[in-house]
């Protein structure tokens, strides 16, 4: 399961209080002032728009979009308005509680008319949609795909930390990370290749897969996702024989779909030609991405 | 490419618990939609809602809400897994594909209502473990010993149809040997009052494509389907399917029918079929003015002569993200028995030119198309056939 990476785009914002206004960034990126959308959709438009900048993404490009938490802001507003204040949901707020509202705005902004899916996964949000997109590209169900993840904060930040069960001093951030992927084409420049995205139900299965890859320690960097246990990570690095650690998470505030940043950061700033990225879920399973520059 | 067949099914709707109970209920007649109570801020509103049969709504208790949801999911998933006869090892490697628009928001609502009684400054979605859409699937995996990957599709009314499309592709491509697809939607105040705010609810039965159509009735449902490579006699399988984004509007398909026709055309192409090869068609049929117009226009564009057409929401209610799967399971069960489900008295004559099948109609084996259109411009068309 592999696909070429034609482009990537990101928006990473350390959380502030009050939250940074994103309207200007949305207009800069999309060329239009998109009205009546919340922060979650704004971040999706910025990340996807930056990914598509400088290229004409064909209309038959599919959208695969993920999040760890979804559009918290809209859901919280609707819940507080209804159950605390006794006001019924406003039509637009209610419609925007549907998470694929963001897919709609991304597709409309980039004039896309192909597949569109919003998929969530507690720990492996970005990995999940990447896996589906790779499969669809490989089986020709999609000719190319925009794959992205977004997680946004809500304010007050203290309440947001409480809701996520995070320590009071945990730095928070927002991230929107997108890749445009597809098959190798002579007319389309590429910046890298996703050579694998696999899920394994336990560590022995993952270890066997890694061992069979025979990765070159000089060429391949090792990176870990935010949900993997440090001990498991060391064992896996030893199994792979990799010592070059690529730390894209250093200094990054907390948000659920950090894995989305790994590939773009690797392509932008590592001396290695290959990246093995391993993340874990709460059931003892692992998601692994293998990327080549 | 491996084959991929429907090898186990579970179904709980307003008609009954179990596939057989649902089929039996189709021999009866329509009843007016019952009312369910949406509770918020010390107020109550009665709204038409086709709730699950034999499982009363729990009232105002979060623990009871969670127990009800777990019980419904456990029984439905259990029935599907039992019929599929997977070994423990096969079950452990099975991937989970969930389609829903509301997850367990009903439990979150009840928890928040309870918390507000104690503390007026309580936070919504302040849950244990922390609130996340993906937590819902993890809970199902833990309760059923599933250690494969999980994917939760949240694309409004197409959610479980899209879950099925991708589960099927995973099995066919050999990435998974088995997949469990679950479509679930349970009563919650946000959805009920949100649809009321959009003025899309009907006080009466749903009448899709009928000149008297006046909106939809929401419904609860839970369906589960196990997919695997083992062809069993009479098992249905997904012959083709397509999903496309329609950017005409957030809440309605393009009324000219072009995007509806396109997704059906793509589904046929992926199945290697022509419109004339479709033996019968299940509409989405939400009985809303604009969406029925768009759907009718799309069908007329694609089909020179329409095959027999049915709609299941008058029976089941609109079960939103779950409808992709429960309507498919019910349609296939009826087709296996050799009949097309009728909707007596609804759209016998249609201003949109879509006359629905009125009484149970003998249905030969063939290719069947099932259509779904959702908020966010998400359109999905499936083609199924029996092995």
Q: How far is CA A231 from the centre of its chain?
A: 25
Beta-carbon separation of A100 and B375 below 8 A: yes
Residues of chain B contacting A115 with CB distance shorter than 8 Å: 243-245
Residue ranges of A 61-120 with Cβ closer than 8 A to chain B: 63, 67-70, 72, 75-76, 78-80, 82-86, 88-91, 94-95, 97-101, 103-104, 107-108, 111-120
Q: What is the pLDDT of residue A147?
A: 98
Beta-carbon separation of A256 and B132 below 8 A: yes
**Torsion sign across C-alpha atoms B248, B252, B254, B259:** positive
Phi, psi torsion values for B369, nearest 5 degrees: -105, 135
The token pair that represents A55 in the structure block: 């290229």
pLDDT at residue B195 above 80? yes
Q: What is the pLDDT of residue B129?
A: 82
In 3D, which of B214, B255, B42, B193 has the Cα closest to residue A78? B193
pLDDT digits (tens, 9 = 90+) for A161-184: 999 999 999 999 999 999 999 999
Contact assessment for residue B154 and residue B70, using Cβ atoms and an 8 Å cutoff: no
Beta-carbon separation of B155 and A118 below 8 A: yes
Other Cβ atoms closer than 10 A to B60: 15
Percent of chain B with pLDDT over 90: 93
pLDDT at residue A97 above 90? no
Q: What is the pLDDT of residue A186?
A: 87
In sequence order, the 6+-apart residues with CB closer than 8 A to the CB of A76 are A154, B124, B125
pLDDT digits (tens, 9 = 90+) for B309-329: 999 999 999 999 999 999 999
In 3D, which of A126, A135, A275 has the Cα closest to residue A215? A275
Beta-carbon separation of A83 and B113 below 8 A: yes
The whole-number average pLDDT for the span A54-59 is: 90
- Which pLDDT band, with edges at 50, 70 and 90, does A21 fall under? very high
In angstroms, the CA B179 to CA B137 distance is 13
Q: Helix, strand or coil for residue A256?
A: coil
Model-wide pTM > 0.90: yes
- Which pLDDT band, with edges at 50, 70 and 90, does A96 fall under? confident
Residue ranges of B 177-206 with Cβ closer than 8 A to chain A: 189-190, 193-198
Q: What is the pLDDT of residue B252?
A: 86
Q: What is the pLDDT of residue B105?
A: 95
Q: What is the pLDDT of residue B229?
A: 96
Q: How far is CA A39 from CA A16, B88, B269, B310, in A?
A: 13, 44, 38, 41
pLDDT at residue A24 above 90? yes
pLDDT at residue B82 above 80? yes
For B132, the closest chain A residue by CA position comes to A69
Contact assessment for residue A76 and residue A154, using Cβ atoms and an 8 Å cutoff: yes
pLDDT at residue A265 above 90? yes
The whole-number average pLDDT for the span B364-371 is: 98
Q: What is the pLDDT of residue A32?
A: 93
In this complex, is the C-beta atom of B243 within 8 Å of any C-beta atom belonging to chain A? yes
B8 class by beta-carbon count within 10 Å (0-12 exposed, 13-18 middle, 19+ buried): buried
Average pLDDT, chain A: 95
Q: What is the pLDDT of residue B128?
A: 82
pLDDT digits (tens, 9 = 90+) for B133-163: 999 999 999 999 999 999 999 999 999 999 9
pLDDT digits (tens, 9 = 90+) for A194-232: 999 999 999 999 999 999 999 999 999 999 999 999 999
The whole-number average pLDDT for the span A269-290 is: 95
In this complex, is the C-beta atom of B116 within 8 Å of any C-beta atom belonging to chain A? yes
- Report the residue from B108, B132, B250 with minimal CB separation from A104: B250
Q: How far is CA B9 from CA A54, B164, B207, in A?
A: 48, 13, 28
Q: How far is CA A37 from CA A26, B240, B241, B246, in A?
A: 11, 35, 31, 18
The whole-number average pLDDT for the span B28-50 is: 95
Shortest distance between the Cα of A256 and any Cα of chain B, in A, equals: 10
In 3D, which of B351, B377, B370 has the Cα closest to residue B6? B370
Residue with tokens 């209080």: A17
pLDDT at residue B2 above 80? no
Beta-carbon separation of B375 and A69 below 8 A: no
pLDDT at residue A27 above 90? yes
The whole-number average pLDDT for the span B38-42 is: 95
The token pair that represents A212 in the structure block: 């069979």
Beta-carbon separation of B92 and A256 below 8 A: no
The whole-number average pLDDT for the span A250-271 is: 94
In 3D, which of B173, B318, B331 has the Cα closest to residue A138? B173
Percent of chain B with pLDDT over 70: 100
Shortest distance between the Cα of A220 and any Cα of chain B, in A, equals: 25
Q: What is the pLDDT of residue A271?
A: 86
pLDDT at residue B1 above 80? no
Q: What is the pLDDT of residue B221?
A: 98
Q: How far is CA A172 from CA A67, A156, A164, B129, in A?
A: 16, 12, 11, 19
Beta-carbon separation of A88 and B196 below 8 A: yes
Q: Given phi > 0 = left and psi -120 to 50 = alpha, else beta, which region is B4?
A: beta
Residues of chain B contacting A287 with CB distance shorter than 8 Å: 149
Q: What is the pLDDT of residue A108?
A: 96
pLDDT at residue A54 above 90? no
In this complex, is the C-beta atom of A27 within 8 Å of any C-beta atom belonging to chain B? no
pLDDT at residue A270 above 90? no
Average pLDDT, chain B: 96
From the CA atom positions of chain B, what is the Rg in Å?
Answer: 20
The whole-number average pLDDT for the span B380-385 is: 98
Phi, psi torsion values for A274, nearest 5 degrees: -135, 150
Other Cβ atoms closer than 10 A to A76: 18
ipTM exceeds 0.95, yes or no: yes
């Amino acid at each position: 399961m592999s696909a070429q990476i034609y482009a990537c785009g990101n928006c990473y914002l350390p959380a502030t209080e009050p939250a940074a206004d994103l309207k200007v960034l949305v207009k800069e990126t999309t060329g239009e002032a998109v009205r009546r959308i919340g922060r979650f959709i704004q971040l999706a438009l910025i990340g996807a728009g930056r990914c598509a900048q400088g290229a004409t993404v064909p209309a038959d490009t599919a959208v695969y979009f993920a999040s760890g938490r979804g559009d918290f802001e809209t859901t919280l507003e609707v819940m507080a308005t209804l159950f605390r204040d006794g006001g019924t949901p406003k039509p637009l707020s209610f419609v925007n509680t549907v998470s694929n509202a963001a897919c709609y705005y991304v597709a409309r902004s980039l004039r896309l008319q192909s597949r569109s899916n919003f998929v969530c996964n507690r720990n492996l949000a970005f990995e999940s949609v990447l896996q589906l997109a790779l499969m669809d590209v490989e089986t020709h169900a999609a000719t190319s795909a925009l794959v992205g993840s977004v997680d946004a904060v809500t304010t007050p930040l203290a309440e947001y930390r409480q809701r996520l069960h995070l320590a009071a001093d945990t730095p928070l951030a927002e991230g929107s990370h997108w890749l445009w992927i597809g098959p190798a084409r002579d007319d389309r420049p590429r910046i890298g290749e996703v050579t694998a995205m696999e899920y394994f139900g336990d560590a022995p299965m993952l270890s066997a897969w890694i061992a069979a890859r025979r990765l070159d320690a000089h060429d391949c960097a090792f990176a870990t996702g935010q949900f993997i246990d440090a001990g498991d990570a060391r064992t896996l690095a030893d199994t792979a024989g990799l010592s070059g650690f690529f730390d894209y998470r250093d200094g990054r505030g907390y948000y659920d779909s950090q894995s989305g940043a790994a590939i773009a950061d690797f392509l932008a700033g590592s001396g290695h030609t290959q990246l093995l990225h391993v993340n874990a879920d709460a059931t003892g399973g692992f998601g692994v991405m293998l990327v080549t520059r | 490419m491996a084959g991929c067949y429907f090898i186990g099914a579970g179904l709980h709707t307003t008609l009954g618990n179990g596939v057989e109970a649902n089929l039996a209920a189709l021999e009866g007649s329509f009843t007016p939609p019952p009312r369910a109570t949406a509770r918020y801020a010390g107020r109550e509103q009665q709204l038409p809602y086709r709730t699950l049969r034999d499982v009363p709504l729990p009232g105002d208790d979060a623990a009871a809400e969670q127990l009800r949801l777990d019980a419904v999911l456990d029984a439905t998933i259990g029935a599907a897994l039992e019929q599929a006869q997977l070994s423990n090892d096969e079950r452990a490697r099975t991937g989970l594909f969930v389609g829903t628009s509301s997850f367990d928001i009903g439990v979150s609502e009840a928890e928040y209502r309870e918390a507000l009684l104690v503390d007026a400054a309580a936070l919504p979605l302040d849950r244990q473990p922390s609130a996340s859409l993906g937590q819902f699937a993890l809970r199902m995996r833990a309760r059923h010993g599933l250690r494969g990957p999980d994917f939760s599709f949240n694309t409004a009314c197409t959610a479980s149809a899209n879950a099925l499309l991708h589960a099927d592709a995973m099995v066919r491509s050999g990435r998974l040997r088995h997949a469990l697809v679950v479509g679930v939607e349970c009563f919650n105040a946000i959805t009920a009052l949100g649809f009321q705010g959009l003025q899309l609810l009907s006080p009466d039965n749903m009448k899709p494509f009928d000149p008297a159509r006046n909106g939809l009735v929401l419904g609860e449902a839970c369906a589960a389907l196990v997919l695997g490579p083992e062809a069993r006699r009479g098992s249905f399988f997904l012959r083709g399917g397509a999903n496309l984004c329609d950017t005409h509007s957030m809440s309605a398909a393009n009324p000219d029918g072009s995007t509806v026709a396109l997704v059906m055309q793509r589904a046929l192409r992926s199945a290697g079929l022509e419109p004339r090869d479709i033996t019968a068609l299940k509409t989405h049929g939400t009985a809303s003015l604009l969406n029925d117009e768009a759907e009718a226009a799309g069908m007329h564009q694609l089909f020179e002569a329409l095959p027999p057409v049915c709609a299941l929401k008058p029976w089941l209610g609109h079960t939103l993200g779950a409808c992709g799967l429960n309507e498919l399971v019910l349609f296939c069960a009826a087709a296996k028995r050799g009949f097309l489900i009728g909707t007596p008295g609804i759209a016998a004559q249609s201003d949109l030119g879509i006359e629905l099948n009125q009484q149970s109609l003998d249905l030969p084996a063939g290719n069947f198309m099932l259509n779904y259109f959702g908020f966010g411009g998400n359109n999905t068309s499936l083609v199924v056939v029996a092995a």
